[in-house]
């Protein structure tokens, strides 16, 4: 039975994180999806009422409480099922995994804002140096994941792995020529494997 409403767009990597977590924890039937089509300059009236910052995802609970952003929503939903937690509840694992998840979110932030810069901003106002700086952040983050965190990523499919998979999926969607697979073959092999998971296959963004 659906008891919650998720403000949703199929192309948002932040929304996808929430959807993957719902699939992985068997909770997708508890959430109704409310489609929104927004950008930083075109909002959605209902969303703005529920989340004053006007961003997705936002999750309305049965009692009307609204949760945002994706980190808070994932943490909430991870405490609503009885299986293994996808966010470690305590100890050093919690901080390690959340930091990796934060790195994945930062890749998404850079990729989403690059999309806005190259697609939304009027052409005469675009700033190549700024786009290059975002690309640098993404390149450094992916190199760091390959060099320092591949074993951790491979060890368990949890919030960190969900985040990295969603970040890579969004990069492929918006910047297919970014070329990360050649630079990070280990990450590419990991991604090819986890992409077979039903949760990722069911939520893959289609342009």
Ligand X SMILES: N[C@@H](CCC(=O)N[C@@H](CS)C(=O)NCC(=O)O)C(=O)O
Nearer to ligand X, 15 or 142 (CB): 15
- Residue 176 CB, nearest approach to ligand X (Å): 18
State which residue, 38 or 98, has the beta carbon closest to ligand X. 38
Please state, in angstroms and rounded to a whole number, the distance separating the CA atoms of residues 189 and 151: 12
Which of these, 113, 139, 137, 111, lies nearest to 126 by C-alpha position? 113
| Smallest distance, ligand X to C-beta of residue 1, A | 26
Binding residues vs ligand X (CB under 6 A): 12, 14, 38-40, 54-57, 69-71, 105, 112
Tell me 3's DSSP state: -
Contacts of 71 by beta carbon, 8 Å cutoff, 6+ apart: 101, 105
Q: Which is nearer to ligand X, 10 or 136 (CB)?
A: 10
Instruction: Tell me whether residue 115 or residue 181 sits nearer to ligand X (CB atom).
Output: 115
Helices 128-148 and 185-194 cross at an angle (nearest 10°) of: 80
Minimal distance in Å, beta carbon 171 to ligand X? Answer: 13
Residues 25, 29, 34, 36: what is their CA dihedral angle, to the nearest 10 degrees?
Answer: 40
Residue 65 C-beta: closest distance to ligand X, Å: 17
Please give the angle made by the CA atoms of 75, 35 and 135, to the nearest 5 degrees: 65
């Amino acid at each position: 039975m659906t008891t919650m409403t998720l403000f949703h767009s199929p192309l948002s990597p932040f929304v996808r994180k929430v959807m993957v977590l719902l699939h992985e924890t068997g909770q997708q039937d508890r959430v109704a999806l409310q489609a929104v089509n927004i950008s930083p300059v075109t909002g959605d009236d209902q969303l703005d009422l529920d989340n004053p910052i006007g961003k997705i995802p936002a999750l309305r609970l049965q009692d009307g409480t609204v949760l945002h952003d994706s980190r808070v929503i994932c943490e909430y939903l991870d405490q609503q099922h009885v299986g293994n937690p996808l966010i470690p509840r305590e100890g050093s694992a919690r901080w390690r995994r959340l930091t990796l998840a934060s790195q994945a979110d930062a890749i998404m932030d850079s990729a989403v804002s690059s999309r806005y810069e190259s697609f939304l901003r009027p052409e005469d106002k675009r700033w190549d140096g700024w786009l290059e700086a975002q690309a640098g952040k993404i390149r450094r983050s992916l190199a760091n994941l390959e060099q320092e965190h591949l074993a951790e990523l491979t060890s368990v499919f949890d919030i960190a792995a969900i985040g990295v998979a969603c970040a890579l999926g969004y990069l492929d969607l918006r910047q297919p020529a970014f070329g990360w697979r050649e630079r990070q073959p280990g990450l590419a092999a990991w991604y090819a494997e986890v992409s077979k998971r039903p949760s990722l296959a069911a939520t893959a963004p289609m342009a």
